[in-house]
A and B are shown apart, each in its own frame.
Chain A
Amino acid sequence: MGRVSLFMSECERAFAHGLPVERSHVTQRIPRLRRTPSWALWCLAPTILLLLAFSYWPLLRTALLSVQKSDLFGRAAGFVGLQNYSQMLSSEGFWRSLWVTAIFVVLTVIGKVVVGLLVALPLSKRLRGTAFSRASVLIPMAISAAVAGLAFRALMTPTTGLLDQLAIALTGNPAGWLTQPTMAMISIVIVDVWVSIGFVILLLLAAIDGIPVDVTEAASIDGANGWRTLRSITLPLITPTLFFIVVTQSVQAIREFAVINVMTGGGPSGATKTLVFDIWAKAFGGTADYAGASARGIVLLIIIAAMTAIQFGVLERKVNY
């Protein structure tokens, strides 16, 4: 993913310093050794074979399933061309799931960036007495989305959960955290932000720490106040990281399943049924509509591949001031 671009720059740097990257000196000096030794092939074999079996073959099979009919038991029952796709495109549920996915992605990404900055910016000052905060904000990194969902489900227990108590205290009514359509969306957004926040803060801290001290010093000598430094120095200099976060977290949000499955089950009445949740529901949530699930799987693949391509394209050009 985005890591590739770093690898590219790594190589460029190595070449600039005249270091051999792909081939060692030995290879270049002793032509006899040019031939690929058999041990290297043995070393690669497990990886290549496993990727063929569990990445490439299933990808091909998904494509094949998406152009076949499936019977009640999910068995492929003859080619039907693009019928599954035309059915999908004319189904209201499909467009709704794309819309739900889009809202979920936008809200979680905004949430992660805003909360991430609100915590990472003051943390980056490395004041004495903040070591505990530094360590504890990373804890969510350890927690699975499923378990986080369960913890929040406890907090959102109707009428007795703390968050619902809070809602009752503020508005006089239970919030319907998981039962009211808009609140259900907000709830899964909150949990998804919580699950990723440790990772986001870690990335932001690394980026802010990477800003050369003399730049910020020069700014403060020039009389820039905190807000001005943030707006004109810090934020522009961490744009590449912000961009990286936006793309990787969008991909992560598009692929989110556990939070939705644990908290809302796609409900109420489809309000939190994203594309990925729909893929699962089609294939394993009562029906065995493998054809429909596969067609949606191909759509998902296209979306994820496009996002990765955007990531490469823009990161290569370095989003910076």
Chain B
Amino acid sequence: MRSSLFSRAAIITYLGITSLLIVFPLLYVLFASFRPGQAITGSITDIIPTGFSLEHYVAAFGSAPLLQQMVNSVVVTLAQTAAQVITALFAAYALVFGRLKRPGLVFGFILVTIMIPGETTLVANYLTIRSLGLFDTVAAIFIPFLVSAYNVFLLRQSFLSFPKEIHEASMLDGAGPMRFLFRFLVPLNSPTIMTVTLMSAISAWNGYLWPLIVSESASTRTVQVGIKILTDESGTNIGASLAGVIVAVIPTIVLVVVGQKFLARGLTQGSSK
């Protein structure tokens, strides 16, 4: 690019300011959560860190069962992510290598569910959870989401481009179907599996509507619902709830930063060029 030095500097400055504005809401909360005394003072100095104290964090972990709620969120995220990846792995494997009679039909059956919004089936799923006796349990939060049709879709697409020669060779060597899956298919498709895992984990951690509905007591809530309720109850001193916000975003920020390139890959798939 032969843009002049001046316009280059202008673009860099512009981008610096825009990206700072984008991350600013989080920085504002971060600074407030460490501010001694009143978290939000109403002074212009709120936009920079002033002082350092852990009192709001102590209050957050003291006033609500925040630790328990973090544990709940971890359990939900691990269970839901593991299930969504494993079920999708097997389903996509069968769809591509299973010699099904009507693979298109089975795939359609799975894919159509993407079109059913969870808000439509909210009441019905709630009633199912109630009749299973699972209301107000941590299990209720992830049980309806053990399968992700979108994961099946992404993995299937990845498997379709798998070199058939390797499949043939391993079959001729007498490898069983599970051996082929775990010795060849999984390792050679690990980037896609990473993408799918990350996306499942982030959405599991960030779930809100469903956990709000199926949990009633503070000790079964996930951290997302927990800090919303903490905020509603804390009145004017929101320091504790802002500390909770920071605690709640750390895991997913780490995932996004670490897994940046995998996410870019997975999310841009489908926006066809």
Return the contact of A203 from the options B202, B238, B268 (Cβ within 8 A): B268
B28-A162 in contact (CB<8A) = yes
For B41, the chain A residues whose CB sits under 8 A away are: 160
| B interface SS class | helix
Which among A58, A132, A300 has the greatest number of chain B C-beta atoms within 10 A? A58
Chain A residue with the shortest CB-CB distance to B265 = A206
A154-B94 in contact (CB<8A) = no
B117-A304 in contact (CB<8A) = yes
A130-B224 in contact (CB<8A) = no
Least CB distance from B86 to A in Å reads 8
Q: How far is the CA of A94 from the CA of B86 in the complex (A)?
A: 41
A304-B115 in contact (CB<8A) = yes
- Find residues 130-175 in chain B having any chain A CB closer than 8 Å to their own CB: 143-147, 149-150, 152-154, 156-157, 160-161, 164, 167-168, 171
Least CB distance from B217 to A in Å reads 16
A77 at the interface (CB under 8 A from B): no
Chain A residue with the shortest CB-CB distance to B264 = A202
Q: How far is the CA of A160 from the CA of B19 in the complex (A)?
A: 24
Task: Answer whether A47 and B42 are a contact pair too, CB < 8 Å, given A55-B116, A151-B25.
Answer: no
Task: Answer whether A147 and B249 are a contact pair too, CB < 8 Å, given A6-B269, A130-B15, A241-B271.
Answer: yes
B272-A9 in contact (CB<8A) = yes
B28-A122 in contact (CB<8A) = no
Which stretch of A34-42, A85-93, A179-187 is in the interface?
A34-42
A54 at the interface (CB under 8 A from B): yes
B28-A141 in contact (CB<8A) = no
B14 at the interface (CB under 8 A from A): yes
A279-B122 in contact (CB<8A) = yes
Q: How far is the CA of A36 from the CA of B105 in the complex (A)?
A: 14
Task: Answer whether A135 and B257 are a contact pair too, CB < 8 Å, given A125-B11, A241-B271, A308-B115.
Answer: yes
Chain B residue with the shortest CB-CB distance to A308 = B115
A284-B213 in contact (CB<8A) = yes
B231 at the interface (CB under 8 A from A): yes
B256-A138 in contact (CB<8A) = yes
Give the A interface residue count (CB, 8 A): 117
B60 at the interface (CB under 8 A from A): no
Chain B residue with the shortest CB-CB distance to A23 = B99
Q: How far is the CA of A19 from the CA of B23 in the complex (A)?
A: 46
Contact with A along B221-258 (1 / 0, CB 8 A): 00011011001000000100110010011001101110
For A241, the chain B residues whose CB sits under 8 A away are: 271, 273
B25-A298 in contact (CB<8A) = no
Least CB distance from A234 to B in Å reads 13
B106 at the interface (CB under 8 A from A): yes
A133-B167 in contact (CB<8A) = no
B98-A44 in contact (CB<8A) = yes
A157 at the interface (CB under 8 A from B): yes
Least CB distance from A240 to B in Å reads 6
Q: How far is the CA of A305 from the CA of B32 in the complex (A)?
A: 43
Least CB distance from B88 to A in Å reads 7
A56 at the interface (CB under 8 A from B): yes
A4-B22 in contact (CB<8A) = no
Q: How far is the CA of A165 from the CA of B143 in the complex (A)?
A: 45
Chain B residue with the shortest CB-CB distance to A76 = B127
B260-A157 in contact (CB<8A) = no
For B100, the chain A residues whose CB sits under 8 A away are: 36, 40, 44
Chain B residue with the shortest CB-CB distance to A292 = B123
Task: Answer whether A22 and B272 are a contact pair too, CB < 8 Å, given A144-B208, A155-B28, A160-B41.
Answer: no
Return the contact of B22 from the options A61, A129, A142, A197 (Cβ within 8 A): A197
A3-B150 in contact (CB<8A) = yes
A36-B98 in contact (CB<8A) = yes
Least CB distance from B4 to A in Å reads 12
- Find residues 275-318 in chain A having any chain B CB closer than 8 Å to their own CB: 276, 279-280, 283-284, 290, 293-294, 297-298, 300-301, 304-305, 308, 315, 318
Task: Answer whether A207 and B15 are a contact pair too, CB < 8 Å, given A36-B98, A36-B101, A37-B99.
Answer: no
For A33, the chain B residues whose CB sits under 8 A away are: 99
A235 at the interface (CB under 8 A from B): no
B87 at the interface (CB under 8 A from A): yes
A257 at the interface (CB under 8 A from B): yes
B53 at the interface (CB under 8 A from A): no
- Find residues 100-138 in chain A having any chain B CB closer than 8 Å to their own CB: 118-119, 122-123, 125, 127, 129-130, 132-133, 135-138
Return the contact of A257 from the options B20, B29, B208 (Cβ within 8 A): B208
Return the contact of A144 from the options B115, B121, B224, B267 (Cβ within 8 A): B224
B272-A199 in contact (CB<8A) = no
Contact with B along A43-55 (1 / 0, CB 8 A): 1101110110111
A152 at the interface (CB under 8 A from B): yes
5 residue pairs of the A-B complex, CB under 8 angstroms, read: A50-B147, A55-B116, A119-B22, A160-B41, A257-B209
Given contacts A43-B98, A123-B15, A297-B122, 10 further A-B contacts (CB under 8 A): A2-B272, A5-B270, A40-B177, A55-B113, A62-B120, A139-B26, A146-B228, A151-B25, A203-B271, A261-B212
Of all A-B residue pairs in the complex, the 8 with the closest CB atoms, nearest first, are A40-B98, A3-B270, A144-B206, A160-B42, A58-B124, A58-B121, A43-B90, A43-B94
